Amino acid sequence: MNNGLFKVTDRIYQIRGFDLSDMTIVEGDTGLIIIDPLVTTEVAKAGLDLYYKNRPKKPVVAVIYTHSHADHYGGVKGVTTEDDVKSGKVKILAPVGFLADAVSENVLAGNAMSRRTLYQYGAMLPRSDRGQLDAGLGKTTSIGTFTLIPPTDIITRTGETRTVDGVQMEFQMAMDTEAPTEMLIWFPQFKALDTAEDATHTLHNLYTLRGAQVRDASNWWKVLNEAINTHGDEVEVVFAQHHWPMWGKDKIVDYLGSQRDMFKYIHDQSLNLANKGLTMTEIAEELQLPDSTGKRWANRGYYGSVNHNAKAIYQRYLGWYDSNPANLHPLPPVEVAKRYVDYMGGADAIITKAKQSMEQGDYRWVAEVMKHVVFADPKNQAARNLQADAFEQLGYQTEDPTWRNEYLMGAYELRNGVPDLPAISTASADMLNAMSPELMLDYMGVRLDGPKANGKSVRLNWKLPDGANYAIELRNSVIIYSANKTFDNADATITADKTSFSRLTMEGTALDKVIADDNVKVEGNKEKINELLGLLDTFPGMFNIITP
């Protein structure tokens, strides 16, 4: 709730409470080093403007991305320009693999993730005591212009150092922890440690509810342990790219050690219970942190939770199947729902019983049984309203704000239907420019309507202005591509840069229009290109979640 410009220590300041993440400003000898420029350009600029109102106006000389999540780089063009980066006036530092991970996470499953993000952050809920209160790591994400400038300096190993404008930095790699690509930063002059997002004032996510690859809790605790062993004897202040700093060596080491022990306990004990034969859901119900870590304020489930993190451990090691053959090939949700409703005596009988359960405060059970009634008959408004009532009570009672948002968004859509809004796209111009041709072709394969493509065959050559070539073949209802290769007998050859190619394959622009607008060259049979483009799906941005 406390937003503004905050001093961390001499020459280190933070913008907090402006966005989901924090922006850190380190004062160099002649300029500023910006760490993680928030989500959008407008908010990042507002944060920098606030800094300039209170501190000497020095130019930005470097930007650091601590990791590959969008809330840590999206506002970069609010603090610098692409021209200044290209000219060398501004360096951009990031861990190895940053660009590939930043782009791929927002593309291959980006449509589904964007829709689910509305639930996790409750972005459409009213800001009120009965609506959206918080997102755990910050209030919620800002809405504005999302940008990306590729890094110019890559950090590849732990212990690597840089001195930028008189500021000494030592980096610690934290790969496959909170993000696939992440790094911590030690500032020896200031005795300050930036833990990026690996130590914040909450139990973090091992699995994020919007959907993402499960994070490695074993790597995570080891990274924190390494930070303690490396800097614990001299650290005087620790800060992160969310929440607020902590001062004093003993307090910092105790805090980092507690976070380390928390992640290790969830990891080890989830596997302990799995090896005793408990299923994913059973483990999540049984597992609790010991009081020594679980009752510490900074370890509470304000973003992650013990429950869904334990499920993440199970998923990472054992996958979705619990080895019970009854769960190997279950009926799909609508068919299950219809049979349950029939077996349970019909919708009216279930609603009557569920109302009694509501009066007894058995909200989890009401949510479960009404799910079947709603999926059997999505137009049953009485069932929708009763499930919404249960969701609201579950939301009001949960400590975790992301769980609250999930429940209240479900209730909102049960009462009001799916909002008629355009699709949320993370494929901005900057993201497209950062995509490799291979990733663009991978996404093209994801968009292919396989059954519709059955029996069809297309061979294309794609030539880029830089001399790169790709042979692209539709065969057996998949798109196969090979770099540094062309077909002698291609149906057509298209010469286009990535931007023009993306207009065809990602934005759905007509081939003739792209040819006319972008000076794209096509040799051979244009209709074979159109045939392939016609087989690509356009994903619905606001698909159903709470109803079939």
pLDDT for res 538: 87
pLDDT band at residue 420 using 50, 70 and 90 as cut-offs: confident
CATH code reported for the domain at 331-397: 1.25.40.880
Structurally, what CATH architecture does the domain formed by 4-263 represent? 4-Layer Sandwich (3.60)
Average pLDDT, stretch 337-343?
97
Rounded Cα distance between 247 and 59, Å, is: 29
Average pLDDT, stretch 43-64?
98
Judge contact between 111 and 210, C-beta under 8 A: no
DSSP states along 51-67: HHHHS----EEEEE--B
What does the mean pLDDT of the chain come to? Answer: 94
Percent above pLDDT 90 for the chain: 84
CATH code reported for the domain at 436-533: 3.30.1050.10
Rounded Cα distance between 65 and 4, Å, is: 21
Cα(first)–Cα(last) distance of the chain, in Å?
38
**Per-residue pLDDT tens for 130-172?**
999 888 998 888 888 999 999 999 999 999 999 999 999 999 9
pLDDT at 248 over 70: yes
Q: How many CA atoms lie within 13 A of 235 on its CB side?
A: 26
Q: Tokens in use for 100?
A: 């590939």
Query: What residues pair up with 7 in beta bridges, in sequence order?
Result: 13
Judge contact between 468 and 499, C-beta under 8 A: no
pLDDT for res 193: 98
pTM: 0.91
Picking from 14, 7, 32, 12, the residue whose alpha carbon sits closest to that of residue 192 is: 12
**Per-residue pLDDT tens for 379-408?**
999 999 999 999 999 999 999 999 999 999
Q: How many CA atoms lie within 13 A of 494 on its CB side?
A: 27
pLDDT band at residue 114 using 50, 70 and 90 as cut-offs: confident
Stretch among 286-295, 455-464, 539-548 having the lowest mean pLDDT? 539-548
431 Cβ contact list (under 8 Å, min separation 6): 103, 106, 107, 146, 148
pLDDT at 423 over 70: no
**Per-residue pLDDT tens for 12-22?**
999 999 999 99
**Domain extent listing, the chain:** 4-263, 331-397, 436-533
pLDDT for res 425: 62
pLDDT band at residue 337 using 50, 70 and 90 as cut-offs: very high
Rounded Cα distance between 355 and 373, Å, is: 13
pLDDT band at residue 351 using 50, 70 and 90 as cut-offs: very high
Q: Tokens in use for 437?
A: 């041709």
**Per-residue pLDDT tens for 92-112?**
999 999 999 988 887 888 888
Rounded Cα distance between 432 and 436, Å, is: 8
pLDDT for res 372: 97
pLDDT at 433 over 90: no
Stretch among 109-123, 271-285, 426-440 having the lowest mean pLDDT? 426-440
Indicate the residue type of 444.
M
Average pLDDT, stretch 43-50?
98
pLDDT at 508 over 90: no
366 Cβ contact list (under 8 Å, min separation 6): 354, 357, 358, 386, 387, 389, 390
**Per-residue pLDDT tens for 69-78?**
999 999 999 9
482-489, Cβ contacts within 8 angstroms, sequence gap of 24 or more = 483/437, 483/438, 486/461, 487/459, 487/460, 487/461, 489/459
pLDDT at 424 over 70: no
209 Cβ contact list (under 8 Å, min separation 6): 116, 119, 120, 308, 402, 403, 406
Picking from 436, 431, 416, the residue whose alpha carbon sits closest to that of residue 542 is: 416
Neighbour-count burial for 338-350, b at 16+ CB within 10 Å, e otherwise: eebbeeeeebeeb
CA 8 to chain centre: 27
Domain 4-263 and domain 331-397 have a common topology: no
Judge contact between 414 and 385, C-beta under 8 A: yes
Indicate the residue type of 336.
V
